[in-house]
């Protein structure tokens, strides 16, 4: 797996090192808003489109929000070792294709991944196996966004009115488990005030650019 990662990703545009940015957070912590704003405001950051076996919600479009795959197609990608990482999240399967990340980086873009803690762990292991001089390792940045407290998270999840109380309960249990992984991330940013949190995320990204 390491060899494939090196082979496929090392051949990138010379010059500044594109960043591989992981933004991870419990549901309701403000991750989507922050990721959407990064994409809107930073021309060189592209979103890594994941695969999932869940059904599209609302106006979600295949190939834009996710690649919506049947179980068998997801299995085929696992068998082909096509995923850089994959995990079951909230009962559905999600995965990032190596190809998606490699193409983004090779084009000289920073690639933004919105994934869960299990996926982050797998990526970190892959990156950790690369040499210190590897551009992927040099450009790797993992950020964990935390709500100020679980009480505040519950308030936000209830306030957005998208989920029933059972789902909110489940998300809170998951949030607690996810927050226990915060220490694995190089950067942990509290989202108490959205603009402040976003500014901190931007600063961490700009500081990484060398
Ligand atoms: P949603 O289905 O609400 O869009 O996403 C549910 C969760 O799955 C979110 O926490 C999101 O970060 C995570 N997720 C989305 N894509 C991927 C992926 O490719 N890999 C992993 N490990 N998690 C993902």
Can you tell me which atom of ligand 1 is nearest the CA of 27? 10
Q: For residue 4, what pLDDT band results from cuts at 50, 70 and 90? A: low
Q: For residue 5, what pLDDT band results from cuts at 50, 70 and 90? A: low
Q: How many CB atoms lie within 10 A of CB 126?
A: 21
Which residues, other chains included, contact 36 with Cβ-Cβ below 8 Å and sequence gap of 6+?
Answer: none
Atom 21, ligand 1: residue with shortest CA distance: 115
CA of 24 to the centre of ligand 1 (A): 9
Instruction: Tell me: pLDDT of 54 over 60.
Output: yes
Q: How does pLDDT run across 106-165, given as a tens digit for each residue?
A: 999 999 999 999 999 999 999 999 999 888 899 999 999 999 999 999 999 999 888 889
Q: Which CATH number fits domain 2-48+108-209: 3.40.50.300, 3.60.20.40, 2.40.50.140, 3.40.640.10?
A: 3.40.50.300
Burial class (CB in 10 A: 0-12, 13-18, 19+), 208: middle
Instruction: Tell me: pLDDT of 24 over 50.
Output: yes
Ligand 1 pocket member 66 (CB < 6 A) = no
* pTM, full prediction: 0.90
């Amino acid at each position: 797996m390491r060899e494939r990662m090196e082979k496929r990703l090392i051949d990138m545009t010379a010059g500044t090192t594109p960043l591989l940015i992981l933004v991870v957070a419990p549901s309701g912590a403000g991750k989507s808003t922050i990721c959407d704003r990064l994409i809107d405001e930073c021309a060189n950051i592209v979103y890594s489109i994941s695969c999932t076996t869940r059904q599209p919600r609302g106006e979600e479009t295949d190939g834009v929000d996710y690649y919506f795959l049947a179980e068998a197609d997801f299995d085929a990608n696992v068998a082909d070792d096509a995923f850089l990482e994959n995990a079951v999240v909230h009962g559905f399967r999600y995965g990032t294709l190596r190809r998606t990340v490699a193409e983004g980086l090779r084009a000289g873009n920073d690639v933004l991944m919105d994934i869960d803690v299990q996926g982050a762990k797998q990526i970190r292991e892959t990156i950790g196996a690369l040499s210190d001089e590897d551009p992927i390792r040099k450009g790797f940045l993992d950020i964990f966004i935390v709500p100020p407290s679980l009480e505040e998270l519950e308030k936000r999840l209830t306030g957005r009115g998208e989920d029933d109380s059972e789902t909110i309960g489940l998300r809170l249990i998951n949030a607690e488990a996810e927050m226990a992984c915060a220490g694995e991330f190089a950067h942990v940013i509290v989202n108490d005030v959205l603009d402040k949190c976003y500014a901190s995320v931007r600063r961490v990204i700009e500081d990484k650019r060398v």
